[in-house]
Chains A and B, each alone.
Chain A
Amino acid sequence: MDETAVRIRGLRKRYGDVDAVDGVDLDIPRGEVFALLGPNGAGKSTTVEILEGHRRRTGGEVAVLGADPGRPTRRWRARIGIVSQTSEERPQLTVRETVRHYAGYYPAPRDPDEVIEAVGLTEKAGARLARLSGGQRRRVDVALGIVGDPELLFLDEPTTGFDPDARRQFWKLIESLAGDGTTILLTTHYLDEAEALADRVGVIARGRLVEVGTPRELGGRATAKAHVSWTGPEGPRTLETHSPTQVVAELSQKFDGEVPELTVTRPTLEDTYLTMIGAAR
């Protein structure tokens, strides 16, 4: 079997005289959770929709599970799962009716009740969708995305509008899917989400993939200067340094014990990300 789930070379999408996607290269190996980050209008959704077979590309080579998504076949569709940003299911149907119905489209679907269990809706299985909360409806979307037992799952901003608790629970669900070996391509606006879930992160800005790396390494984060902050006699102080341990040791001696309001931070993924998309602008 092909070990690459997604292979992109020189992908281009042109609307009028604007290049929404302007030469993207990317490989996503099987089993990886890959997060695509980028501001609105950066080409993130366009790229994903081309991979999903929803949009035609203007140029470049794309292979998704070894096939060209520009010519989607039913059999290929049965191997991918899509959870898109906006999709409405019929509010008059129950969770179980909905999941069972769509399971019937696939040659080898997962057991609908097991899928409902996996997304944590067992207690709501007999409830009509109209009676579910926003987060619960999103779980139905995910249930429909995975009911066909896909090899590759697209998750387009899956937790937008979730409260923090619902997001944490949702992350657990995604982690368990990834643990089963499903390749996942995630787009998100939440940097902590990418950091928590993704093996690798790609930042897209103005139609170009600016950088790809692990969340820890992205934008030189791992080797970036640390910020040591404390409150001295003359007020709050901050020092940027490559050797924070030494700075803290010196401060400790100077204050003879506890350093008031001591913090040591490295740039968050969000800081790094904002710097990167700022530079691309």
Chain B
Amino acid sequence: MTAQAMPSTLRIGLSRGALELRTFMRDREAAAFTFAMPIVLMLIFGTIFKGEIKGTGVDFRQYFAAGIIASGIASTTFISLGVGIAQERDDGTLKRLYGMPMPPAAYFIGKTITALVLSVAETVVLFLLGHVMFGLNPPGTPERWFTFVWVFVAGVTVCTLLGIAVSSVPRSGRGAAAVLNVPYLVLQFISGVYFTFTELPKGVQDAGAVFPLKWICQGLRSALLPDTLLPVEPAHAWEHGRIALVLAAWAVAGFALCLTTFRWKRRDDG
């Protein structure tokens, strides 16, 4: 018997990414749930919120737009993956994959590709809406573009890892969306998406600062909004070093959680 070469991990991973995206496009519920939700929220709150943030010359709706872009990234990564993987575990998809000659890394490559493509698309749509409705402008300098890109990549990375890790928490695929939306909603309120972060009570700010969403919001603001906003930023500075540090720490923690908690089978399945 001649031993044929096994297909490479990358090739299977890419093929899985294509499969996931194709499925997503045809799955109206998932598309509506993870992709359309931030857009709907942007439209609703965009018509409610009014006025400048005092002393900064910045329209609050632009501040909100930067925050909802961060929320959109979390939705297409953390929520989408967390719910999707929990369902795949519950319905036996993961068990079938485990029984096939698929390198585990290929599964995660596929998920990462999906999360990245959807996050880019979500960000583009939200940005264009923000531009048309609230006059949000693209990063004005190469430095700000650079900031935008690294904060985006770091945000996607952290939320993807945490999404994979959190998929082990819900006991059933059915309940996954409900379980994951609780932290997601709370974090949006305490991370400076719907309210100017520094107007939140001190304790709430401290709590928000523990989690990555606050730092992704802040990083995106630093790329998209003028420095006149600095007086209402918590440290009166953009704190790029600290943003990078916090997101890196969460990425390491998320990766460790993925490695230690990921299961191919349901909890009740030995």
Task: Tell me the A residues contacting B by CB distance below 8 Å.
Answer: 1, 15, 46, 49, 52-55, 74-75, 77-78, 82, 84, 86-90, 92-93, 97, 101-102, 104-108, 128, 144, 148
* Cα A82 to Cα B101 with chains together (Å): 11
Q: Main SS of the interface on chain B?
A: loop
> Do A105 and B265 have beta carbons less than 8 Å apart?
no
> Do B1 and A93 have beta carbons less than 8 Å apart?
no
> Do B92 and A105 have beta carbons less than 8 Å apart?
no
What residues on A are CB-neighbors of B12 within 8 Å? 104-105
The one of A54, A88, A108, A128 in contact with B99, judged by C-beta atoms closer than 8 angstroms, is A54
* Cα A156 to Cα B92 with chains together (Å): 14
* Cα A77 to Cα B93 with chains together (Å): 16
> Do B99 and A77 have beta carbons less than 8 Å apart?
yes
> Do A104 and B96 have beta carbons less than 8 Å apart?
no
B146 within 8 A of partner (CB): no
What residues on A are CB-neighbors of B22 within 8 Å? 92-93, 97
For the A-B complex with A74-B103, A106-B101 known, give 8 more contacts whose Cβ atoms are closer than 8 Å: A75-B3, A87-B95, A92-B23, A93-B22, A102-B100, A107-B101, A128-B26, A144-B96
What residues on A are CB-neighbors of B143 within 8 Å? none
> Do B5 and A54 have beta carbons less than 8 Å apart?
no
Known A104-B15, A105-B12: A88·B27 in contact at CB below 8 Å: no
B7 within 8 A of partner (CB): yes
Q: Nearest CB to that of B19 among chain A residues? A: A101
Interface size class of chain B, counting residues whose CB lies under 8 Å from the partner chain: 20 to 34
The one of B4, B11, B95 in contact with A84, judged by C-beta atoms closer than 8 angstroms, is B95
6 contacts between A and B (CB under 8 A): A54-B95, A82-B99, A92-B22, A93-B19, A105-B12, A107-B4
> Do A49 and B270 have beta carbons less than 8 Å apart?
yes
Q: Which of B1-55 contact A (CB under 8 A)?
A: 1, 3-7, 11-12, 15, 19, 22-23, 26-27
> Do B11 and A104 have beta carbons less than 8 Å apart?
yes
Q: Which 8 A-B pairs have the closest CB atoms?
A: A92-B26, A107-B4, A77-B101, A88-B91, A78-B101, A82-B99, A74-B101, A87-B92
B120 within 8 A of partner (CB): no
* Cα A63 to Cα B16 with chains together (Å): 31
From B12, B98, B100, B102, residue with most partner A Cβ within 10 Å: B100
Q: Nearest CB to that of A20 among chain B residues? A: B270
* Cα A108 to Cα B100 with chains together (Å): 14
What residues on B are CB-neighbors of A54 within 8 Å? 95, 98-99, 265
Q: Nearest CB to that of A80 among chain B residues? A: B99
Task: Tell me the B residues contacting A by CB distance below 8 Å.
Answer: 1, 3-7, 11-12, 15, 19, 22-23, 26-27, 91-93, 95-96, 98-103, 265, 270
The one of A55, A97, A107 in contact with B5, judged by C-beta atoms closer than 8 angstroms, is A107
What residues on B are CB-neighbors of A92 within 8 Å? 22-23, 26-27
A-B CB contacts (within 8 Å), total count: 79
* Cα A183 to Cα B6 with chains together (Å): 22
Q: Main SS of the interface on chain A?
A: loop
> Do B1 and A75 have beta carbons less than 8 Å apart?
no
CB A132 to nearest CB in B, in angstroms, measures: 15
What residues on B are CB-neighbors of A97 within 8 Å? 19, 22
The one of A55, A82, A90, A108 in contact with B23, judged by C-beta atoms closer than 8 angstroms, is A90
> Do A88 and B93 have beta carbons less than 8 Å apart?
yes
> Do B26 and A105 have beta carbons less than 8 Å apart?
no
* Cα A108 to Cα B6 with chains together (Å): 8
CB B52 to nearest CB in A, in angstroms, measures: 46
CB A253 to nearest CB in B, in angstroms, measures: 63
Q: Nearest CB to that of B1 among chain A residues? A: A1
* Cα A24 to Cα B5 with chains together (Å): 36
The one of B1, B7, B27 in contact with A105, judged by C-beta atoms closer than 8 angstroms, is B7
* Cα A227 to Cα B99 with chains together (Å): 47
CB A19 to nearest CB in B, in angstroms, measures: 14
* Cα A101 to Cα B20 with chains together (Å): 11
> Do B99 and A107 have beta carbons less than 8 Å apart?
no
What residues on A are CB-neighbors of B103 within 8 Å? 74
* Cα A102 to Cα B93 with chains together (Å): 12
CB B115 to nearest CB in A, in angstroms, measures: 17
CB A134 to nearest CB in B, in angstroms, measures: 15
* Cα A82 to Cα B100 with chains together (Å): 8
* Cα A106 to Cα B4 with chains together (Å): 9
* Cα A55 to Cα B95 with chains together (Å): 11
> Do A108 and B19 have beta carbons less than 8 Å apart?
no
What residues on B are CB-neighbors of A104 within 8 Å? 7, 11-12, 15
* Cα A53 to Cα B265 with chains together (Å): 12
* Cα A18 to Cα B252 with chains together (Å): 40
What residues on B are CB-neighbors of A53 within 8 Å? 99
CB A84 to nearest CB in B, in angstroms, measures: 7
CB B69 to nearest CB in A, in angstroms, measures: 28
> Do B101 and A148 have beta carbons less than 8 Å apart?
yes
> Do B100 and A84 have beta carbons less than 8 Å apart?
no
What residues on B are CB-neighbors of A46 within 8 Å? 270
> Do A87 and B96 have beta carbons less than 8 Å apart?
yes
> Do A101 and B5 have beta carbons less than 8 Å apart?
no
